[in-house]
Structure 1
Amino acid sequence: MNATDRTPADLLRSALAADPARPLVTFYDDATGERVELSVATFANWVAKTANLLQGDLAAEPGDRLALLLPAHWQTAVWLLACSSVGVLADVGGDPAAADLVVSGPDTLEQARACSGERVALALRPLGGRFPEPPQGFLDYAVEVPGQGDRFAPYAPVDPDGPALAVDGLELTGAELVGRARADAERRGLAAGSRLLSGLSYDDWDGLSAGLFAPLAAGGSVVLCRHLGLLSADGLEQRRASERVTVTAL
């Protein structure tokens, strides 16, 4: 983290410059048994590819509103940083009818059809797998993203004071988001190398902060757990130990 970082994309660039090999996002889905670990470099590569898809194929521009209808998931984290990279407002759980484009999981496709702009669907299958049959009217993210470029450069510089995130009635600029993430990291006692296990949803700021932004701002990492309620108390303690967790948010 650098004092000059003013957008989430800036935070990711600083993390990449500091230590690209360290873990950044470790994801568990306790309903499927999936575990995925992404280093800073691997996560940044997914972000670059997704940002290229967003800016290029989807023709998104700074200030556009993207309705993000996805659960707490490593691919959701990728989309949040890709939006920041382009300057697009990520409206988490937002109204697709009021958005310029929509990104949907498999359970919200009918809701997402209300968007008159570009529509992207994620199967959220293990290892980022594609849909067996692409949903009609949607691009399949897993089909479209692999061929995108590994480096990203925005057509126009992203304004830190432009809208970056909307969630649960809260709307933040990039600079405000970074400021809140830093404050949350300090409040939670996060520092470089901290490992935060989060079982919170991405439905509000607290979940987004614990599950991505605060660890990123602190130079730490997140163990992001979906369906954590299916895990026993002993299983949770074993996960904390095996993942070297230092802070927990449930």
Structure 2
Amino acid sequence: MNASDRTPADLLVSALKADQARPLITYYDDATGERVELSVATFANWVAKTANLIQDALSAEPGDRLALLLPAHWQTAVWLVACSSVGVVADLGGDPADADHVVAGPDRLDDGLACSGGRVALSLAPLGRRFPTPPAGYDDYAVEVPSMADVFVPYAPVDPAAPALTVGGTELSGAEVVDRARADARRLGLAGGARLLSALPYDTWEGLSAGLYAPLAAGASVVLCRNLDQLSPEGLAKRVESERITSTLV
């Protein structure tokens, strides 16, 4: 990645310039059998649309706090980089009552109603399907995001030194996220073309780094596995072989 990259959004721009066709995130849910593979270009398109939703539909501004009540999931990764693109602070598992906006998965909808600002619900269903019935008090992400523009331009420049992420009670700037991600990539031995399998949750820095930031910083890719405990040892060994995994964190 480019040494001048100072935010996660910058890392994605550099990844697009380097090789937009390569896989970035391959997502498995072993409770549903779902498998989704996103190239850099496809992931960036989701990020652009989501950033436009944050900026225009939610009217979020740099410095606003967005509570992300979501598990480790490819759509969570999209929201994390989209927040970075706008300059909004992504607060993983944050208190919705203290947030300007909230994004909630199907098992956190009641909690998210404590937020007095904009609310977006994600079904987290395979293929990004919408809810059968829109959740009361929420906009359905799968309904709203398709109409958003494929190109994102922030209304205000994003300050790399401003708060960008809160996880596990620690607040990090965009520049700190990038620096930590690069250090983790070196520690994990990640380089261009590496494939990291991670089953770590997104409620700690270690999980976020392994499941998104470190592979993005290194020009590598992640195989993000949810409910991996439902996969047999033989099934895991087969996945490691078929996905050409170079390192594993479970």
Question: Does the TM-score normalized on the shorter chain lie above 0.5?
Answer: yes
| AA partner of residue 135 (structure 1) | P
Query: What is residue 74 of structure 1 aligned with on the other side?
Result: 74
Which residues in structure 2 correspond to 1:1-250 (within 5 Å)? Answer: 1-250=1-250
Counterpart code for 1:243: E
The one-letter code matched in structure 2 to 1:173 is S
Displacement of 1:177 after TM fit?
Answer: 0.4
- Partner Cα separation in structure 1 for residue 182 and residue 248 of structure 2: 17
Aligned-partner Cα distance in 1 for 2:159–2:210: 24
Q: CA deviation at 1:142?
A: 0.1
Structure 2: how far apart are the matches of 1:249 and 1:167?
19
CA distance in 1, matches of 2:66, 2:161: 18
List 4+ stretches of structure 1 deviating above 6 A: none
Gaps of 5+ in 1: none
Aligned length: 250
CA distance in 1, matches of 2:211, 2:198: 6
1:41 alignment partner AA: A
Post-superposition offset of 1:203: 0.7
Distance in structure 1 (CA, Å) of the matches to 2:230 and 2:29: 10
**What root-mean-square deviation, in Å, do the aligned CA atoms of Structure 1 and Structure 2 show?**
0.4
Partners in 1 of 2:179 and 2:192 — Cα distance? 17
* CA positional deviation for 1:115: 0.2
1:26 Cα offset (Å):
0.3
- SS of 1:97's partner is helix
Separation in structure 2 between the aligned mates of residue 247 and residue 5 of structure 1, nearest angstrom: 25
Which secondary structure does the structure 1 equivalent of 2:49 belong to? Answer: helix
- Shift of residue 113, structure 1, vs aligned partner: 0.4
Q: Separation in 1 of the partners of 2:219 and 2:113?
A: 38
TM-score, normalised by the number of residues in structure 2: 1.00
How far apart, CA to CA, are the structure 2 residues paired with 1:210 and 1:95? Answer: 24
3-state DSSP class of the match of 1:146?
helix
Secondary structure at the counterpart of residue 110 of structure 2? helix
What are the Cα deviations for residues 157-200 of structure 1, in whole angstroms up to 9, with x where unaligned?
10000000001111100000000000000000000111000000
| AA aligned opposite 2:173 | T
Q: How much identity, in percent, do the aligned residues show?
A: 74
